[in-house]
Chain A
């Protein structure tokens, strides 16, 4: 049973527009969430995180929104650039519990930004 779901395997967006990547989770113990980006032939790289005490975290063009009641988070990229084309993974951790290093990942969404 998948505890972190990224229901869109792929997404295409025009350069300069907004990219919105979605992630849903089922485990109410999750209280820390991360987004990783992965280029082909490279390992995932950390992008941005959010703690459950917040509902928004911003870093430059990247903003993560958390809706705890809906168990939903989203990553917004504005404006989208061709270099953003990659696979984006959502991950979650029960940060306040034992084994908090245990990240549960979604399957990823492949973003293609069209010039």
Chain B
């Protein structure tokens, strides 16, 4: 596997379910990101990790809980979501968190909350 991979690619869950999104990067990067793209809205940054330490939490509700056990893996734990949380969730990684460090994106997880 190369680049940034995300699993699952599609997820349908009820509002009372608990699920997790997984992201893995094979690029040797130190920074990882979660983005959300809702219909007809721009990509929005949710969380940033640098060397497994969270450096950004963009006012994201607590029903989204990120976890970065090492610099290659990033999880987004979901619980008691709302239908408006249905969106494409994209993971990205970059060498460091500098502005010239290109962010490489995974293919995303299409989440539907019923």
Which are the 7 A-B pairs with shortest beta-carbon distances? A43-B105, A95-B99, A100-B99, A101-B97, A105-B42, A105-B43, A93-B99
| A1–B41 CA distance with the chains assembled, in angstroms | 12
Per-residue interface assignment for chain B, residues 99 to 114, with 1 indicating a CB less than 8 Å from any chain A CB and 0 otherwise: 1111111111000000
Listed A/B pairs (8) with beta-carbon separation below 8 Å: A36-B105, A49-B102, A96-B99, A101-B48, A101-B56, A104-B42, A107-B41, A107-B42
B81 an interface residue at 8 Å Cβ cutoff?
A: no
Contacts of B44 in A (CB 8 A): 105
Contacts of B94 in A (CB 8 A): 101
| A49–B94 CA distance with the chains assembled, in angstroms | 15
Interface size class of B (residues with CB under 8 A): 20 to 34
Query: Using a Cβ–Cβ cut-off of 8 Å, how many residues does chain A contribute to the interface with B?
Result: 26
| A96–B40 CA distance with the chains assembled, in angstroms | 30
Name which residue of chain B comes closest to A6, CB basis: B42
User: Which one, B42, B45, B101, B103, contacts A4 given CB within 8 A?
Assistant: B42
| A65–B90 CA distance with the chains assembled, in angstroms | 28
A20 an interface residue at 8 Å Cβ cutoff?
A: no
In chain A, positions 16-54 with a C-beta closer than 8 Å to chain B are 32, 36, 41-46, 49
B31 an interface residue at 8 Å Cβ cutoff?
A: yes
Contacts of A41 in B (CB 8 A): 107
